[in-house]
Structure 1
Amino acid sequence: MTEAEILSALHPIFQDVFDDDDIVIDADTTAEDVEGWDSLAHVNLVVAAEQRFGVKFRTAELESMRNVGHFVALINKKLNG
């Protein structure tokens, strides 16, 4: 799975977590760019991504996540390991 495919697969997850069908994400999207992206939403995103991609993240990996692009890269690393 490519990073572009991962980003595309994350899009409906973001729409679901934030209950916003109009949300648009890209590699540079950060929590500051998305209304309602707080710590609870972050946990919900991570859990949904873990379920969707069949991966598990370590706390240190999540603490270093700065934007959607980094999240995509982490997922890619887990999938293609």
Structure 2
Amino acid sequence: MADIEIRQESPTAFYIKVHETDNVAIIVNDRGLKAGTRFPDGLTLIEHIPQGHKVALVDIPIHGEIIRYGEVIGYAVRDIPQGSWD
């Protein structure tokens, strides 16, 4: 079973990273999180990310693997900067 990692900026800002090798996480806050939200691990959102959407934890180049659950779930069709959603 995968270890689920929850990162929190404040009592109201969360993302969930399911596996240690994931390069995306899921924003779980109602109404999402605004651009500029910063997490203790250094991740800063560069745009508003709606609830339930993925956020890039690292820069993902065009054609780069998108990894969730420790598995490749797709490939980037454009460069995806860290802190944005795909």
Provide the TM-score with structure 2 as the length reference: 0.30
- More relative contact order in 1 or in 2 (CA 8 Å, sep 6+)? 1
| Greater helix proportion | 1
